[in-house]
Amino acid sequence: MPSAFNPPRGRMQREDHARQAILDITKAIAKLNALELDLIAEVIASILIEQKKVMILGNGGSCATASHFAADLTLMARAARLRVSIAALHESSSLMSAMTNDYGFAESGAALVETSGSSGDLLVIFSCSGSSANLVKAAHAAARLGVLTILIGSRLAPSDFPASQRIVVETENYSVIEATHSTIAHIIVDLLRIRFGVQSPRHPRLASYAMATNED
């Protein structure tokens, strides 16, 4: 029977892999630019203040991150008493399947943006590669409508991806990119909480920052 002194086959390799994964994710997060994150948060804040729509898209794991980000943004906006429209456009499975069936998957993102977006709105795209046809076409559709696009991507993304602003995760490892994207989403929401003076009882540091903002 395996024990701490007689580990099962492969345990040492798995532990080495886990340590390396933790190191890779930590390095990717440490390379993020705090000023860039704050500038993105300010863009989102201005959109919310102007009561424009925030649309969010992603594929696969990035789809889940987009949904999580939409939920956290909405909760932050509710606490800040903002009247806003925030939506992860892919969340309706019925609508997504209908769009894909009628227009094809490559056109589904553009169809969703064209249906939901208007000039002055914001589209946030989470993408590891920045090359998925449905997301690229969604960004092009946004540009035609006068919708601002932010890409939360990586160095894999092509330089001509149609985004007004982007955050680049400096790795090509998809697992690390997705983990870092999740951290980016949380940091942006935290910055918005501070920006709007929203206290967070689960985060003492944010609560103190929010109090200082309100005193200003």
Q: Kindly list the structural domains of the chain, giving each domain's residue range(s) and its CATH number in brackets, ordered by start.
A: 34-215 (3.40.50.10490)
Residue predicted with more confidence, 198 or 209: 198
Q: Sign of the CA dihedral 76, 78, 80, 84?
A: positive
* Rounded Cα–Cα distance for residues 57 and 61 (Å): 11
Longest C-alpha distance within the chain, in Å? 65
Checking 160-169 for CB contacts under 8 A at 24+ apart, the result is: 161/130, 161/136, 162/136, 163/125, 163/139, 165/39, 165/40, 165/43, 167/32, 167/33, 167/36, 167/37, 167/40, 169/28, 169/31, 169/32
Can you state the percent helix, strand and coil of the chain, rounding each to 5? 60, 15, 30
Predicted TM-score (pTM) above 0.85: yes
**pLDDT confidence bin for 13, thresholds 50/70/90:** confident
Return the pLDDT at 205: 60
Q: Which of 52-56, 164-168, 200-204 has the lowest mean pLDDT?
A: 200-204
User: What pLDDT was estimated at residue 91?
Assistant: 87
Give the CA count within 13 Å in the CB-facing half-sphere of 57: 27
121 pLDDT higher than 80: yes
